[in-house]
Structures are given as structure tokens and as C-alpha cells.
């Protein structure tokens, strides 16, 4: 398996909802990432997990809560989001510190 | 932190011509420089990358050059084809921390 998968593809949620985004890879990669991408902008790094430990948190608001249950899975728990949080959320993985491979993303709309 | 600047923001070329996209970075500790292609509604796809101990790398019609002293790197696409039309992002990375340039929208006219 040479792909990063993400579910769901699309998510619409209200500001009081709690939802989770999921990411999975079976390439044996030991680093996993969450990025946020707004329309016509580059991906912005949110979190990095290395060997299942959170190594980078880019001052992301606490309404976004990452979790890495094991080396193949990465979750992003969402709670009390704002409309400006609507974006494409991309997961990526890498073997070492370099080549990152992206999943297809979850397009999130917050109403 | 790292700051990556990318130029031009848009580039239109005729099929068969070459396209060049340039990026500069601020952190001399960055040691890995990938280029991603993103088509509308799709994920970013890694097309070529270069490490800081290499000055140039080529893969068929795509090449990347790196000048560590000047802290800039460039993407060169030769013999462009309509299917090369997309947004291209450069990035600079150290220790899993990857920062992207703002992107270049490349249009290849048939």
C-alpha cells in the first residue's frame, strides 16, 4: 500500500458539533502531519507526530486536538469550530524527515 | 521561523516552451527542498526534491537547482505540455518542519 487515505472526504458541521478526521497509512512511515489549506493558498503546517509523539504544534487553537493512536493512524478531533476554520485538511506521512506524501484531504465546512 | 518566497505567482507559456519557477528561503538550516504539483481539487503531489548537499537534480523534463549560498532554488520544466498546467508549490524543510511558498499557477496553452 503506497497511499495515504483520509476520511471523510467531505464534512459539514455546526459550530457546536464534535467531529473527527481520520488519516491512515500503511507504508511504515514514522512521521505524520496535519496541514490546513485554504482556497488558493499553500498548505499550512498544524501538527507533526514523530514516532507517535507530538513533535510540532504550530500554535493551533485548542478546538483542534490531534491524536496518534498508533504509527499508522492519525486523528484530528474538532470541537466548537468557527466558520473561518472551513478549509481542506490534509494529512501527510514520511519515512524520515523528508519526502512527505499527502492524502486526498477532507474538505471541511463549518456553518 | 522559515519564510519561503516564490515567484512568479502566475506563469503562462506556450506548449513546448520551458517554464521556470524560483523560490528563496530564509533559514540556512533548511536542508530539504521539495516541489509539489497540485491540480484543482486534488492533493499536492511530490514531483521532484533536492537535498542541501546536492546542487542540481533532473528527472526527465523536470529539473531543480539549489544555490545554498544565495538560499534560492528553482524548478525548470522543459517541453511543457497542457497536462503540466497546475499550481506548483516549492517548500523548504528541516526536522520535519516544512514550509511552503505561496504557489505558482502555471498555464500551458496548446
DSSP A24-87: EE-S--SEEEEEEE-TTS--EEEEEEETTEEEEE-S--TTEEEEEEETTEEEEEEES--GGG-E
Which of A31, A43, A99 is nearest residue B44 as measured by Cβ atoms?
A43
Q: What is the pLDDT of residue A98?
A: 80
Q: Indicate the pLDDT class of residue A96, thresholds 50, 70 and 90.
A: confident
What pLDDT is stored for residue A92 in this prediction? 97
In A, minimum Cα distance to B88 occurs at A42
Evaluate whether A3 touches A92 at the Cβ level (below 8 Å): no
Closest CA to A78 of A16, A1, A32: A16
Give the model's pLDDT for residue A2.
66
Q: Average pLDDT in the A68-83 region?
A: 95
- Extract the residue ranges of chain B whose pLDDT is less than 50: none
Say which of B45, B89, B96 has its CB closest to residue A42.
Answer: B89
pLDDT of residue B54: 86
Give the nearest chain B residue to A94 (CA atoms).
B96
The C-alpha cell 524520515 sits at: A96
- A30 touching B (Cβ < 8 Å): no
By the CB < 8 Å criterion, does A56 face chain B? Answer: yes
Label residue A1 by pLDDT band (50, 70, 90): low
Mean pLDDT rounded to a whole number for chain A: 94
In this prediction, residues A77-89 reach a mean pLDDT of 96
Residue A23: the pLDDT is 98
Residue A73 has pLDDT above 90, yes or no: yes
Contact status, residue A4 vs residue A25, Cβ threshold 8 Å:
yes
- The pLDDT assigned to A77 comes to 97
Interface mutation vs chain A, best among B6, B42, B44, most A CBs within 10 Å: B44
Amino acid at each position: 500500500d503506497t497511499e495515504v487515505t483520509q476520511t471523510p472526504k467531505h464534512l459539514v458541521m455546526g459550530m457546536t458539533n464534535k467531529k473527527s478526521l481520520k488519516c491512515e497509512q500503511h507504508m511504515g512511515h514514522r512521521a505524520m502531519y496535519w496541514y490546513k489549506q485554504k482556497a488558493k493558498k499553500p498548505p499550512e503546517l498544524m501538527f507533526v507526530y514523530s514516532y507517535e509523539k507530538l513533535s510540532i504544534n504550530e500554535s493551533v487553537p485548542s478546538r483542534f486536538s490531534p491524536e496518534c493512536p498508533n504509527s499508522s493512524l492519525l486523528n484530528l478531533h474538532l470541537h466548537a469550530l468557527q466558520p473561518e476554520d472551513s478549509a481542506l485538511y490534509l494529512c501527510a506521512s514520511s519515512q524520515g524527515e523528508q519526502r512527505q506524501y499527502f492524502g486526498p484531504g477532507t474538505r471541511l465546512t463549518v456553518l | 521561523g522559515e519564510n519561503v518566497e516564490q515567484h512568479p505567482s502566475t506563469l503562462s507559456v506556450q506548449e513546448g516552451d520551458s517554464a521556470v519557477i524560483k523560490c528563496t528561503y530564509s533559514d540556512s538550516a533548511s536542508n530539504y527542498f521539495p516541489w509539489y504539483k497540485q491540480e484543482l481539487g486534488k492533493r499536492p503531489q511530490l514531483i521532484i526534491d533536492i537535498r542541501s548537499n546536492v546542487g542540481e537534480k533532473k528527472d526527465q523534463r523536470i529539473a531543480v537547482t539549489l544555490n545554498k549560498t544565495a538560499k534560492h532554488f528553482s524548478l525548470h520544466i522543459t517541453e511543457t505540455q497542457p497536462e503540466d498546467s497546475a499550481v506548483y508549490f516549492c517548500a523548504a524543510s528541516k526536522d520535519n518542519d516544512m514550509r511552503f511558498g505561496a504557489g505558482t499557477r502555471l498555464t500551458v496553452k496548446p
